[in-house]
Structure 1
Amino acid sequence: MAQSKNEFGAGKGSFRQAQAWLHTWCGLWFSWLLYAVFLTGTLAVFEEPITHWMTPEHHAHEQAEALSAGSAQEVESSLSQRLQWGMAYMKRQHPGAGMWELWPADVQGGGDLRVYWFDANGQYAAVQLDPKSGNAVDAADAPKVRQTEGGHHFVDFHYQLHAGQVGLWIVGIAALAMFVALVSGVITHRRIFKDFFTFRSSKGQRSWLDMHNAVAVLTLPFQFMIAYTGIAISCSTFMPAGIAAYYGSSAEALKSFQVALNEPGKPQRSGQPMPVPDLEPLVLRGQELIGQPVRAVVIDYPGDAAARVGVYGWNAADDLNKRLSSTSGMAMFSAATGELQQLRLPGDVSGGAASLTQSVIGGLHMATYGGFPLKWVYFVCGLAGSAMMATGAILFMVKRRSKHQGEFGASTSTVYRMIEAVNVAAIVGLGIACVGFLWANRLLPIELSQRSRWELVAFFALWILALLHALLRSPPIAWRDQMTALAVLCLLLPVLNFLTTGDHLVAYLLEGDWESAGVELFAIVVGVAAVAALAWMRRPKAVRKKMPREVSKDLSAVVDADAAKQGSLS
């Protein structure tokens, strides 16, 4: 694609022009996917508050637990009893399991009592026990709680698109393309830092480029970091040669690698029977060694003389803010002798510098340290990065709506019409799908089978409908229609919540429930922004005539229905 010398500062065939072509087309084809990954990844920063809002049945339970926190002596007594109940259940129901895992209490010493094990198929199984009696809680007697993916939907989608390993590879390739677009963009725009301090409004193409440059420069270090760490986290998947050379490539070999990585020194079964000892002395000793309350007690090979007991601690929020690694403390004991076999203090990792580096990279990508201030930095930078990709895709069409050079022959107009439709669905349609996911959480019946899957169906169905709508309507009208839908869904989300659960924003604020309040406040902010965008699109024609000729070709300038029907449906 030919570009002028003035735009890129080089003649035809120059290195800068080659980078411009690379930046333009590499950025376009991956911008839609990267925008989706960046936007959902940004929402995933606040996974816990979103999950909290999407599980309103838990709110009363959490408040009751907060009011019933006992004294230190009561907590210790409760812990002892809970450990006994958990062990009694496992001995009675799953004596042959290769692993028992007890979660006796929350960080305050109360909360649910849960036990986990590996079933006959090697699958992770679990059951909740009544902390007052030790009996298994019958699912039919438990309070009806809506099944939902919660905020984890955005986490899962942003790194593997809900498609497993295939999705992970797709996102990884897109992240590499993002590197290419970032480097080539810096080379192409030689005045990028100067332009960062310049914004020329009402200049059509120039305004879109100024906006694109500004948000790009603002978040450039963040984008390099997030792309690199995202790839590095999954390096064993993208570069498996080293693992395959040492362990092999079979499923069993990969399992051996995971054991060696995460459970160094794990013994083999001895074949000699031995009852599991009393856990309380080991747990109390483990808590003292790691300086944390017990989160989980894991017994490997229960009933065997080679069994070992691992005591894992709860991470305090304040401690996480100060540590680069999010690992909790762990003390591993021999079940036969009570000897301390392994000790990991909070923030340390097993496996040396390489494992520590990977842990730090993972924490850097997922903002596991730094607390809410760092999460807000990630959130703002993520929104700016999403805006950079959106403005880049829009700029592509603003420049080529009437000035394309027939790059695709007779199909050029059709190709660019398709690109413009995908722009609408990828940018606004994704927002509709995201807030629609929250609407589905409130509208789907609580008793619905596989309810969390139906929430995902609603998300993808709305996104597909947005694409079909953008293909059937002219681009200006599609932008306007979908922006209207986004505004309505966001602004009415608090109303829907009140009608379906009885909760409302004012109550959240009075109760100090900032997680739920934050979700609804952000929805309102997005709705107001969508209304502002609609007002900008609907500016009177008399105002548009006073603007430069370029603006009349911009997506927001051609919004009257007559011009849209005549000029864009072809």
Structure 2
Amino acid sequence: MAWLHTWVGLWFSWLLFAVFLTGSLAVFSEPITHWMTPEHQQAEALAAQKESVPVDRARRLELAVDYMARNHSGATMWEIWPVDRFHGNGLTAYWFDKSGEYADAELDPVTGAELDDHHEAEARATQGGTHFVDFHYTLHDAGLGLWIVAFASMAMLVALISGVVTHKRIFKDFFTFRARKGQRSWLDAHNAVAVLTLPFQFMIAYTGIVISSAILMPAPVAATYGADPQARGQFLAELSGEDRPARSGVAQAMPTLEPIVARGEQLIGQAARAIVINNPEDSSMRIGVYGWNEDSDEAHNISATTGMAEFSASGELLRLRPPGGVNGGAPSLTFQVMSSLHMVKFGGLAMKWLYFICGLAGAAMMGTGALLFMVKRRTKHGGEFGSATARVYRLIEGLNVAALAGLAIACIGYFWANRLLPVALENRALWELRCFFLIWALTLAHAWLCSPRRAWISQLALLSALCLLLPVLSLVTLGDHPVAQIARGDWESAGVELTAVAFGVLSAWAALLLWRRPASAPARRNPRSNAEAAA
């Protein structure tokens, strides 16, 4: 078990550290996106002005239905957001195009005319916080990347279980921390962060695998539904309780939507977010009224589903789903709860901060484990790789620096690229990603070109400087700063920059401690291991 914990933990620790660090940042993907699109301020000011004007929802619904009937009468689904909070209180329509892809159009809430892409202030192209979401579970590759992260998650479960078995005094050691004791201190730190967040680590690894189970474990689906390409779609439809009848071919006029929407709001106890019309302009038409999840709903329901009331074209109630409920029974509810647990779709801001801190603790667990491996072998090793042992350990030292400090530098460098790249740059969002990976690659090259001690000090100092100077960068490029952000109530932007400053202070402290500490002795072969090998 000790061997299993050591080597499985080591070879996957670098990837798992990246998954946990970017996953922790993904918890606040919306505030990060908000910060990375500073042009939002003008759009939000316009939205605030629009909110003061009473909304004639019935008129908006009529305009949207007229637009869809004129332009997309053959679509199998219409979706109308009469009051779109994400687009400045505007009117938005969605549909499935001929290729089955999701398409949308933003409409003028007064005339119903389609608005072009430039009716708002020109915003910089960026993936924002979505970059961290996609990277932490697919490595930006929904095929191979998803499988790699899944194998790493399974390795994490193996390392957690073998770690608990190996450390018989793990809970007792949690209350003991011996500072400045070299290997003992690293082991105490590793045990402390592991035990403190052990339930969270098990939960986050297990649910991460479960929510991708249809892809990772296709055999049961294929055995039950067949190997047809549409089989997985049928499985997911049944899992979610989707009940979409076939078109009858008998034309039927669209009913007036406002009375149906008002009744749906009363039944679910939520304001209407979206009206979904399956098989529009057909006698089999079904009209679903979906609600908005408010903060109170997120505080009380682990499942992130909103309320839903579905009606026939005549206004007859067909299905009703309360907020937090599901239509597919226990399997669907289980899957939804697993998804909400992993993606922290409940509990509000306090729960997001708890996940953020626990995620960072998980990253610290991976990082201290990788460092502990080298600390144990820095003064002696058993010649595990023969004559290449020293070179292998030098390679691991470099990977440690780049995987831990280097990734953090790449993350903050991604923020710097957002401010420094020209707004009108072609493929700008792609260039931000290129900057992220280029910076990460440069930290790896630096870690192998310098001695490990110098690489750690240099990269921690650079990380500290980039984090501490992020508010200065915003001031120089935009004339914005945390004081002004707090004054206008923009806590999302202020939170991003103040959190960066906090990480900068911690990085500077770590670099200073390492700089003051004397260099370790070079690694030497363990005589006992030599004797055992000779025997």
Aligned mate of 1:552, from 503, 506, 520: 520
Q: Could you say if the C-alpha distance between residues 169 and 108 of structure 1 is closer, same or farther in structure 2, counting changes exceeding 3 Å?
A: closer
**Alignment-derived partner of residue 43 in structure 1:** 25
Shift of residue 407, structure 1, vs aligned partner: 0.9
The question of 1:310 aligning with 2:288 is answered yes
3-state SS of the aligned residue for 1:311?
strand
Shift of residue 263, structure 1, vs aligned partner: 5.0
Aligned mate of 2:141, from 131, 139, 163: 163
Shift of residue 521, structure 1, vs aligned partner: 0.5
Gaps of at least 5 residues in structure 2 are 524-535
Contact 1:290–1:331 under 8 Å retained in 2? yes
3-state SS of the aligned residue for 2:299?
helix
Contact 1:107–1:293 under 8 Å retained in 2? no
AA at the equivalent of 1:127: A
Contact 2:43–2:121 under 8 Å retained in 1? no
Q: CA RMSD in A?
A: 1.9
3-state SS of the aligned residue for 2:516?
coil
CA distance in 1, matches of 2:17, 2:204: 13
Shift of residue 138, structure 1, vs aligned partner: 1.6
Shift of residue 434, structure 1, vs aligned partner: 0.7
1:153-302 paired onto structure 2 within 5 Å: 153-262=131-240, 264-302=242-280
Q: Could you say if the C-alpha distance between residues 109 and 79 of structure 1 is closer, same or farther in structure 2, counting changes exceeding 3 Å?
A: farther
The question of 1:330 aligning with 2:308 is answered yes
The question of 1:404 aligning with 2:381 is answered yes
Aligned mate of 1:59, from 30, 41, 57: 41
Aligned mate of 1:32, from 11, 14, 35: 14
3-state SS of the aligned residue for 1:137?
coil
The question of 1:446 aligning with 2:414 is answered no
AA at the equivalent of 1:353: A
3-state SS of the aligned residue for 1:105?
strand
Contact 1:398–1:553 under 8 Å retained in 2? no
Contact 1:270–1:306 under 8 Å retained in 2? yes
CA distance in 2, matches of 1:247, 1:59: 50
**Alignment-derived partner of residue 529 in structure 2:** none
Shift of residue 446, structure 1, vs aligned partner: 2.1
The question of 1:472 aligning with 2:454 is answered no
Gaps of at least 5 residues in structure 1 are 1-18, 545-550, 556-570
Structure 1: 4+ residue segments shifted above 6 A: none
Contact 1:205–1:554 under 8 Å retained in 2? no
The question of 1:123 aligning with 2:98 is answered no
AA at the equivalent of 2:8: C
3-state SS of the aligned residue for 1:538?
helix
Contact 2:50–2:89 under 8 Å retained in 1? no
The question of 1:114 aligning with 2:92 is answered yes
Shift of residue 518, structure 1, vs aligned partner: 0.8
The superposition leaves residues 285-327 of structure 1 with CA deviations (integer Å, 9 ceiling, x where unpaired) of: 2112111111111111222221211111111112111112111
AA at the equivalent of 1:219: T
Contact 2:42–2:121 under 8 Å retained in 1? no
The superposition leaves residues 176-203 of structure 1 with CA deviations (integer Å, 9 ceiling, x where unpaired) of: 1111111111111112222212221221
1:487-506 paired onto structure 2 within 5 Å: 487-506=464-483
CA distance in 1, matches of 2:146, 2:522: 36
Contact 2:399–2:444 under 8 Å retained in 1? yes
3-state SS of the aligned residue for 2:310?
strand
Aligned mate of 1:90, from 51, 54, 68: 68
**Alignment-derived partner of residue 490 in structure 2:** 513
Q: Could you say if the C-alpha distance between residues 411 and 290 of structure 1 is closer, same or farther in structure 2, counting changes exceeding 3 Å?
A: same
**Alignment-derived partner of residue 394 in structure 1:** 371
CA distance in 2, matches of 1:461, 1:39: 18
CA distance in 1, matches of 2:137, 2:385: 33
Q: Could you say if the C-alpha distance between residues 477 and 110 of structure 1 is closer, same or farther in structure 2, counting changes exceeding 3 Å?
A: closer
Shift of residue 64, structure 1, vs aligned partner: 4.0
Instruction: Report the number of matched residues.
Output: 523
The question of 1:434 aligning with 2:411 is answered yes
The superposition leaves residues 134-166 of structure 1 with CA deviations (integer Å, 9 ceiling, x where unpaired) of: 211122443201222111211111111111032
3-state SS of the aligned residue for 2:290?
strand
Query: Could you tell me the percent identity over the aligned residues?
Result: 58
Q: Could you say if the C-alpha distance between residues 140 and 361 of structure 1 is closer, same or farther in structure 2, counting changes exceeding 3 Å?
A: closer
3-state SS of the aligned residue for 2:131?
helix
CA distance in 1, matches of 2:21, 2:87: 37
The superposition leaves residues 248-307 of structure 1 with CA deviations (integer Å, 9 ceiling, x where unpaired) of: 223222222223333532100111122222222211121121111111111112222212
AA at the equivalent of 2:112: G
CA distance in 1, matches of 2:76, 2:345: 32
Q: Could you say if the C-alpha distance between residues 108 and 448 of structure 1 is closer, same or farther in structure 2, counting changes exceeding 3 Å?
A: closer
TM-score (norm 2): 0.94
Greater shift, 521-530 or 398-407, is seen at: 398-407
Shift of residue 430, structure 1, vs aligned partner: 0.6
AA at the equivalent of 1:328: T
